[in-house]
């Protein structure tokens, strides 16, 4: 067969490119199709068999695009095909050599008697019918269609059926097309159709938000007894008209509470001891790969079964279902393999999701332990995670290490936040608060450290923000700057992430929020301060938690949530949460307050401290509509294009029938599904 293939190929090339001898043999109204050269390349690479390329030659002969003349054989013959022959075929296919050069190589083989062919063999080839033995399909090629659609609009698609070896269109392929959900639910069946000119086009109007998120166009094609299936994913989004979204913001649709009585939830201390579950909370991304974002909740104390000392603290890893219920829970504490904690560390005083920093496709986290070490200098732990919630590695950052020297009582780790990839190295960075630092010559004025993360959990460098920092916050003694930090996205549109940092005190005992417009090196471009003159609620309480929300009101500017755990609006220390809609200049455009008086809101009692922590929970079914750049796991929880919040209430006593212990400050977390 090799001899025959090469003989026919030689005849083709020689006849088509040597006009002095063969010009009359090539029909002027035809050109050699591109797929012939493609086949030559594939054959040269060993991707297709000799028979596949021979079909192309048969086609050209049968269609009389070429005629064949047989060259004469030289009297001195060799027996082997030199290795350079297929190289030459490949170069010809790539257009690197002239046709005549390739023809010369084939003529060499003929002249050496390596290949022979008889006229009768050629005539037999002409009589054979070229058949398609295999095919492939393409859905929504480069020049057609989008892989998304809005509700009420058409989703368009195009199916192409092509010869596997030639790449040419094939008519009459029987197609069965249907749309199914990622869960396997049949959404629409197009039935059986057949391609015409190798193409089938259709569209369907998306009927409702029931089609939200993941959909699959499944196509099965059958031709000459060969069956192929291809699937193409596409997304469905809510109507693009932003006013539709705006009409619903600031309302709670439903609330799910997580506490010690929750199925598959945390096991907390009883017997009159406090655990303060809900001290911190964070969206940690989809840890177990089920398409649903998961939740980490910190507590400053834990059971003696987990610790030699209860005040070492813990973090509960909650694997969530899409409705906010818990699939399972795994605790990280002193007894967790790979974890080492100081006595009294209060590990879990802060927590944030980092995304995947070490490249194993599993999100990682950072945890604060603000009471660690001599005189409570504090620490930040980068926890490299496994998908089952276990710990792969703990990377510790404390005084004397890569965070620099910290003074006694700094309490680094009182807050920590993923601030996105500030320096553009592909790894998210962190901001860490030490709110009790005697920094810049003022006691308890506080500081924030920007840590530029590396893939192993270390810091390549750090930058400190404190009293006296150029363009930084205006601070005095006891301000306790760094009590809370939020990534608020690129507020001013300069391509760099911006952050918000809370101070406990401003003139008197009111709180203050500093909006920092950042540079990529961690320095500050400018600062805007928000206090009780801008947010009236800060006159009577302080911002103990901050969280970026993304652009939830559709004005192109990121917004934020503010936790006010000591708010007395509905009862002593019941707490509350503010949604603060920002302008690009850092000012507050409008405010919505959530507490237990909100329709469909949480059930609270005095001392619950609702607002101790806040987490923007992202989209549990996989689509982050309101994404904060650099923190892709933040966005919409239930798929209605509006963010949801997890809010800690660390003072909740969780008294319930059948709970004889009646522990104080056991804590709870409330997931608020927003409209």
Q: Can you spell out the DSSP letters for 27-41?
A: -TT----HHHHHHHH
646 pairs with which residues across the strands? Answer: 615, 671
Give the pLDDT confidence score for residue 630 in this predicted structure: 34
Nearest residue to 82 via CA among 6, 13, 135, 185 = 6
Give the pLDDT confidence score for residue 531 in this predicted structure: 87
463 pairs with which residues across the strands? Answer: 450
Task: Report the alpha-carbon distance of residue 663 to residue 275 in Å, rounded.
Answer: 9
Number of C-beta neighbours around residue 60 at 10 A: 22
Task: Report the alpha-carbon distance of residue 662 to residue 660 in Å, rounded.
Answer: 6
CA 654 to chain centre: 36
Helix (H, G, I), strand (E, B) or coil at 234: strand
Which residues of the chain fall below pLDDT 50? 1-30, 66-70, 72-78, 117, 119, 122-130, 240-248, 620-639, 657-658, 660
Number of C-beta neighbours around residue 203 at 10 A: 12
Reported in sequence order, the residue ranges of 419-575 that DSSP labels E, i.e. its strands, are 430-434, 447-453, 459-466, 481-489, 498-503, 512-518, 524-530, 545-550, 559-564
Give the pLDDT confidence score for residue 616 in this predicted structure: 87
Helices (H) and strands (E) in the chain, counts: 8, 32
Task: Report the alpha-carbon distance of residue 647 to residue 638 in Å, rounded.
Answer: 16
Helix (H, G, I), strand (E, B) or coil at 491: coil
Quickly list DSSP for 302-324.
--TTT-SSGGGBEEEEEEE-TTS
Strand-pair category, 226-237 with 148-150: parallel
CA angle 668, 673, 675 (to 5 degrees): 150
Give the pLDDT confidence score for residue 5 in this predicted structure: 46
Kindly list the distances between the CA atom of residue 197 and the CA atoms of 51, 173, 227, 509, in Å, as whole numbers in the listed order. Answer: 26, 10, 19, 76
Question: What are the respective helix, strand and coil percentages of the chain, to the nearest 5?
Answer: 15, 35, 50
Give the DSSP H/E element, type plus range, for residue 120. helix 119-127
Helix (H, G, I), strand (E, B) or coil at 461: strand
Give the pLDDT confidence score for residue 98 in this predicted structure: 58
Residue carrying structure tokens 């009159």: 272
DSSP 667: B
Helix (H, G, I), strand (E, B) or coil at 615: strand
Helix (H, G, I), strand (E, B) or coil at 537: helix
Nearest residue to 664 via CA among 674, 656, 648, 652 = 652
Please compute Rg for the chain using Cα positions.
Answer: 34
Q: What pLDDT, in 10s, does the model give residues 149-206?
A: 877 888 999 998 888 776 788 888 999 999 998 778 899 999 998 888 888 999 999 8
């Amino acid at each position: 067969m090799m001899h025959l293939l090469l003989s026919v190929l030689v005849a083709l090339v020689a006849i088509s490119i040597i006009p002095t001898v063969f010009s009359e043999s090539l029909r002027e109204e035809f050109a050699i199709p591109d797929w012939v050269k493609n086949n030559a390349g594939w054959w040269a690479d060993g991707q297709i068999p000799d028979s596949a390329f021979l079909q192309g030659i048969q086609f050209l002969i049968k269609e009389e695009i070429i005629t064949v003349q047989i060259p004469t054989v030289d009297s001195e013959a060799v027996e082997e095909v030199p290795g350079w022959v297929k190289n030459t075929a490949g170069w010809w296919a790539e257009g690197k050599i002239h046709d005549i050069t390739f023809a010369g190589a084939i003529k060499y083989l003929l002249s050496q008697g390596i290949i022979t062919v008889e006229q009768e063999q050629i005539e037999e080839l002409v009589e054979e019918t070229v058949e398609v033995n295999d095919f492939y399909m393409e859905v929504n090629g480069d020049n057609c269609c989008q892989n998304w659609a809005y509700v009420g609009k058409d989703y368009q698609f195009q199916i192409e059926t092509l010869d596997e070896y030639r790449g040419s269109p094939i008519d009459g392929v029987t197609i069965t097309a249907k749309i199914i959900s990622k869960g396997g639910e049949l959404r629409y069946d197009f039935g059986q159709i057949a391609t015409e000119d190798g193409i089938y086009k259709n569209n369907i109007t998306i009927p409702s938000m029931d089609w939200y998120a993941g959909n699959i166009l499944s196509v099965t094609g059958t031709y000459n007894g060969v069956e192929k299936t291809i699937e193409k994913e596409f997304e469905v989004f809510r109507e693009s008209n932003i006013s539709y979204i705006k009409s619903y913001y600031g309302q709670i649709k439903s609330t799910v509470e997580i506490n010690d009585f929750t199925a598959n939830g945390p096991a907390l201390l009883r017997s009159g001891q406090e655990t303060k579950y809900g001290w911190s909370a964070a969206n940690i991304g989809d840890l177990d790969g089920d398409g649903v974002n998961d939740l980490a909740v910190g507590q400053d104390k834990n059971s003696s079964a987990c610790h030699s000392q209860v005040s070492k603290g813990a973090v509960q890893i909650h694997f969530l279902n899409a409705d906010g219920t818990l699939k399972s829970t795994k605790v990280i504490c002193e007894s967790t393999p790979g974890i080492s904690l100081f006595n009294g560390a209060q590990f879990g005083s802060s927590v944030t999701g980092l995304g995947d920093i070490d490249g194993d496709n599993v999100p990682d986290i950072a945890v604060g332990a603000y009471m660690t070490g001599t005189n409570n200098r504090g620490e930040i732990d980068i926890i490299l995670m496994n998908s089952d919630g276990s710990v792969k590695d703990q990377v510790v950052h404390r005084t004397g290490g890569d965070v620099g020297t910290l003074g006694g009582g700094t309490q680094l780790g009182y807050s920590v936040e993923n601030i996105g990839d500030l320096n553009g190295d592909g790894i998210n960075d962190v901001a860490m608060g030490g709110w009790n630092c005697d920094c810049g010559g003022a006691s308890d004025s506080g500081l924030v450290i920007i840590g530029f993360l590396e893939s192993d959990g270390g810091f390549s460098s750090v930058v400190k923000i404190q009293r006296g920092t150029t363009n930084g916050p205006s601070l005095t003694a006891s301000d306790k700057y760094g009590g809370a930090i939020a990534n608020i996205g690129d507020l001013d549109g300069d391509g760099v992430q911006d952050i918000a940092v809370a101070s406990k005190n401003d003139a008197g005992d009111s709180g203050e929020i500093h909006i920092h417009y950042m540079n990529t090196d961690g320095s500050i471009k400018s600062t805007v301060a928000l206090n009780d003159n801008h947010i009236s609620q800060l006159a009577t309480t302080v911002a103990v938690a901050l969280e970026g929300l993304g652009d939830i009101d559709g004005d192109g500017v990121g917004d934020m949530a503010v936790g006010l755990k000591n708010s007395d609006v509905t009862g002593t220390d019941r707490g509350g949460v503010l949604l603060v809609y920002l302008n690009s200049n850092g000012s507050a455009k409008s405010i919505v307050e959530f507490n237990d008086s909100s329709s469909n809101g949480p059930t609270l009692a005095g001392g619950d401290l609702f607002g101790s922590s806040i987490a923007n929970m992202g989209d549990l079914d996989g689509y982050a509509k309101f994404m904060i750049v650099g923190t892709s796991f933040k966005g919409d929880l239930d798929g209605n294009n509006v963010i949801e919040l997890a809010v800690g209430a660390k003072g909740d006593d969780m008294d319930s029938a059948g709970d004889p212990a009646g522990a104080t400050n056991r804590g709870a977390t409330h997931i608020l599904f927003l409209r």
